Amino acid sequence: MADRAPIGSGWRERAPAVLIVFLLAATPLVARALGDPFIVKVATRVVVFAIAAVALNFVVGFGGLVSLCHAGLFGVGGYVVGVLAWHDFNAEPLLFLPGTSNLLVSIPAAAVVVGLLAAIVGAISLRTSGPYFLMITLAFNQMFYYGAVALQKYGGEDGLQIMSNVTLGPFDMSDRYRFFYLALAFLAAAMFVLGRVVRSRFGMALRAASRNETRVIAVGVDPWRYRLVAFVISGVVVGIAGALLAAGQQFISPVDMGWDRSGDLVVMTVLGGIGSVWGPALGAAAFVVLELVLSSWTSHWQLAFGLLVILIVVGLRGGLADLGALAFGRRGTETAHG
């Protein structure tokens, strides 16, 4: 019955993702029951970084490309939303277009801008591989960072505050519950779509190229093009995450795109487990919640955090997703990875 039919259709892959979305969807109810609406804000941050980590893992876990410019792309997405809202609030046209605080316009705009940038960065960076790819993407990340610092009109290093009320069509999105479900919808969509892509012919070629490049070339596939498309898809999704961060906290700053934030995203991804589409979402949740909880206990929290990271990487080879797999009674991570 239910446990037989889905074999081969990716159900095992999808079940944990569905579970994650359902658990997250319940947090506002928990927040209301406990009378603690702050939980929803934490959950929103978890969801935003989960989208970013899932996006990053699309190139890390399935393309074998460790990118350090994802915080830069993330920040650009945020700046698109912020700059459009700034022009809306100040009633000053941007070139010849009016600004907007409507996410129906600004999120797609962010996706397009980040997608274009990712195409340029990817086209150049994908000439390299391995650690060289890591470092050339770091270089691009720094260019995005200094680019944002140079935006004096939009606050420079101080960052850009969104003064207008962010909307989604006719809906006011300053309501935290509403905004949370919007972000969650994006996370669910990202995991669903990226999961489909991973299992498609395209995804198979991408994964094959990361394991044995020569063989893939021998059968007439140009890995560079596959990787570029994957990089752009990943960039678009991380740009949307950045757009959601800016809209949710009504603020974006160059600090959100520093190289250390790129490093954080890699840590979330690997911490969660790169073998599955949903693993990095666990990593993002662990990262955000641990950071918040540990730092409220002691100002030496980074010692505990560092040791915890070491313990996890020594003990769990597939990241936190292994815990999930253990709970499910099998090594679920191997399906996609090996």
DSSP class of 257: G
What is the four-CA torsion angle of 59, 118, 112, 166, rounded to 10 degrees?
A: 80
Give the Cα separation of 286 and 300 in Å (integer): 18
Which is nearer to another protein, 105 or 257 (by Cβ)? 257
Which is nearer to another protein, 200 or 302 (by Cβ)? 302
The helix or strand, by DSSP H or E, that contains position 93, with its residue range, turns out to be none
Contact stretch for another protein (CB under 8 A) within 82-90, 111-119, 129-137, 225-233? 129-137
Place of tokens 């009633």: 91
Give the Cα separation of 161 and 25 in Å (integer): 28
Pick from 6, 32, 36, 120: which binds another protein (CB under 8 A)? 36
Which is nearer to another protein, 36 or 92 (by Cβ)? 36
Q: Is 164 in the site for another protein (CB under 8 A)?
A: no
Pick from 119, 139, 221, 323: which binds another protein (CB under 8 A)? 139
Contact stretch for another protein (CB under 8 A) within 18-26, 91-99, 154-162, 209-217? 154-162
Which is nearer to another protein, 14 or 258 (by Cβ)? 258
Rule CB under 8 A: which of 66-85 touch another protein? 66
Which is nearer to another protein, 109 or 270 (by Cβ)? 270
Min CB(213)–another protein separation in Å:
14
Which is nearer to another protein, 15 or 116 (by Cβ)? 116
Binding characters for another protein, 210-249, by CB under 8 A (x = yes): -----------------------------------x---x
Which 3-state string (H, E, C) describes 204-241? HHHHHHHHCHHHHHHCCCCHHHHHHHHHHHHHHHHHHH
Pick from 19, 26, 120, 150: which binds another protein (CB under 8 A)? 150
Q: Where are the beta strands (DSSP E) in 99-228?
A: 160-161, 167-168, 171-172
Place of tokens 């487990």: 273
- For residue 330, CA distances in Å to 61, 98, 113, 333, 334 come to 20, 54, 41, 9, 9
Give the Cα separation of 13 and 8 in Å (integer): 10
Give the Cα separation of 332 and 337 in Å (integer): 9
Place of tokens 């906290």: 249
Place of tokens 């641990």: 290
Pick from 138, 182, 244, 247: which binds another protein (CB under 8 A)? 138
Pick from 15, 116, 171, 263: which binds another protein (CB under 8 A)? 263
Token code pair at residue 106: 């600004």
Q: Is 296 in the site for another protein (CB under 8 A)?
A: yes
Burial of 249 (0-12, 13-18, 19+ CB in 10 A): middle
HSE value, Cβ hemisphere, 13 Å, CA-based, for 21:
19
Q: Is 38 in the site for another protein (CB under 8 A)?
A: yes
Binding characters for another protein, 303-332, by CB under 8 A (x = yes): x-xxxxxx--xx--x---------------
Residues at the contact surface with another protein, assessed by CB under 8 A = 36-38, 41-42, 45, 60, 66, 124-125, 127-132, 135-136, 138-140, 142-143, 146-147, 149-150, 155-159, 161, 163, 245, 249-251, 253, 255-256, 259-260, 263, 266-267, 270-271, 274, 291-292, 295-296, 299-303, 305-310, 313-314, 317
